[in-house]
Amino acid sequence: MSSDARKTQNRSIVLTDNDRQRLQPILLTQAATTGIIQGDMQTIGPQLPTEFVDLLILDPPYNLTKNFKGYTFNQRSVASYNDWLDAVIRLLMPTLKPDASIYICGDWLTSASIFTVASQHFTVRNRITWEREKGRGAKRNWKNSNEDIWFCTRSADYTFNVEAVKLRRRVLAPYRKNDGSPKDWEETDQGSFRDTHPSNFWSDITIPFWSMPENTEHPTQKSEKLIAKLILASSNPGDTVFDPFLGSGTTAVVANKLDRAYLGIEQNQEYCLLAAKRLEMAAQDHTIQGFNDGVFWERNTKSGRSK
């Protein structure tokens, strides 16, 4: 694709000076139960009230050296990453309601730490693996093309809305009942579809890229579709969703679009402002790419969607 074509199709969200001035006053700097706090979660965490969170989404720096606009997380030994993650969970534990759910994101290496640490504090219920599609080829190793999200709960009492996260797939073998009607699928003008139970392998996710209207410059932004699955499955409208490593604001934006309250903490002001701009945009447009008519769509079934 030519660079001109890329320029015209680039829908990434960027901040103007006007955005910065307008949105800066929205950012909080002290502990609160809703909104975006610009600050260090290690400092703010202990100041938060107790037992107000229904769903905690943790997308922390992975055990890699990465610069988040001036703040660099340095790769460390597995034992030392375990200690770091353990301290994060201990800090956040008092904020969780007894029936809260917790999701923790990581790559293959961080994933081992997550299980070790999370199982000390929570009931670990599953590990979701999602296909990133994009990934850098390696000369002497297998390319990393997927990541994990660990699903945990504080107790046996927890929310799981399975009907809200079904995946609509095209039917390959359209079995019919004796009377000729579709067995467990639906015949539509656009084709035949079945809504299937969500599994712990997600191959329908795309990481945000420049032609998607949710894309920002954040280096590790999660897609709205991915976060929407977590929020719909593990919370109800009106619940509070907390993300103490908010980044570009995906969790806050999706929570808002799905009528949940949100609290986010992020150390970098530009990322906080991007989150605030995305929330402003969400007030005009509640759509989530890949989630239409109340169902998630498998990749490449676009022609069957109503929008």
Ligand X SMILES: C[S@@+](CC[C@H](N)C(=O)[O-])C[C@H]1O[C@@H](n2cnc3c(N)ncnc32)[C@H](O)[C@@H]1O
Residues in contact with ligand X by the rule CB under 6 A: 40-42, 59, 61, 68, 71, 218, 220-222, 245, 247-248, 250, 265-268, 271
Which residues make Cβ contacts (< 8 Å) with residue 179, sequence separation at least 6?
none
Q: At closest approach, how far in Å is the CB of 245 from ligand X?
A: 3
Q: How much of the chain is helix, strand and coil, in % rounded to 5?
A: 30, 25, 45
What's the closest the beta carbon of residue 228 comes to ligand X, in angstroms?
A: 12
CA distances from 38 to 73, 266, 274, 282 (A): 18, 5, 12, 20
Minimum distance from CB of 220 to ligand X (Å)?
A: 4
**Smaller CB distance to ligand X: residue 214 or 239?**
214
Nearest approach, Cβ of residue 174 and ligand X (Å): 38
In the complex with ligand X, the residue whose CB is nearer, 101 or 248, is 248
* Smallest distance from ligand X to CB 142, Å: 22
Question: What is the bridge-based pairing of β-strands 146-153 and 96-106?
Answer: antiparallel
Distance between CA atoms of residues 38 and 27, nearest Å: 6
Distance (Å, whole) CA 54 – CA 234: 8
Sheet with 240-243, strands from edge to edge, namely: 35-38, 261-266, 240-243, 53-58, 96-106, 146-153, 123-131, 201-202
Nearer to ligand X, 61 or 198 (CB): 61
Q: How far is the CB of 35 from ligand X (least distance, A)?
A: 14
Question: Smallest distance from the beta carbon of 88 to ligand X, in angstroms?
Answer: 8
Nearest residue (CB) to ligand X, 185 versus 264: 264
Structure tokens at 181: 């009607």
* Shortest Å, Cβ 274 to ligand X: 8
Q: Which two tokens stand for residue 106?
A: 């990581």
| Residue number of the CB atom closest to ligand X | 247
Residue closer to ligand X (CB basis): 97 or 222: 222
Identity of the residue, 26 or 91, whose beta carbon is nearer to ligand X in the bound complex: 91
- CA nearest 285: which of 303, 302, 307, 264? 307
Per-residue CA distances from 244 to 39, 66, 112, 250 (Å): 10, 18, 21, 12
In this complex, which beta carbon is closest to ligand X, that of residue 86 or of residue 195?
86
Could you give the CA distance from residue 33 to residue 249 in angstroms, rounded to a whole number? 16
Residue among 36, 111, 31 at smallest CA distance from 274: 36
**Smaller CB distance to ligand X: residue 76 or 166?**
76
